[in-house]
Amino acid sequence: MTPRCDMQFDSLTAFVDGELDPREELEIRRHLDGCAQCRSIVESLLGLKQAVASTAEIRPVPHSLREQVNEFASRHKPRKSRPLCGG
């Protein structure tokens, strides 16, 4: 049985995207050293990010689309994070 892990998916995606401050990044790196489940998730996210980057066309986002996305985001709050892995 795998021990319960309380790591949040949002924290792992922020780590992959380089959005954490150095202290938080170090904390995630230490966690990944001992958590195979989260390490696997991070490896998958990195692979997905690389695949998208290698196939994406670089085109400017139309202003109207940017406005629609911003309007949608302002009306919808993010869902509360929950633990990813558990045993």
Give rounded-to-5 percent helix, strand, coil for the chain: 60, 0, 35
The band of 28, judged by pLDDT with boundaries at 50, 70 and 90, is very high
The pLDDT, as a whole number, for residue 82 is: 64
pLDDT exceeds 80 at position 87 = no
- pTM for the full model? 0.62
The pLDDT, as a whole number, for residue 60 is: 78
More confident residue, 26 or 71: 26
The pLDDT, as a whole number, for residue 62 is: 85
Query: What is the rounded average pLDDT of the residues 7-25?
Result: 94
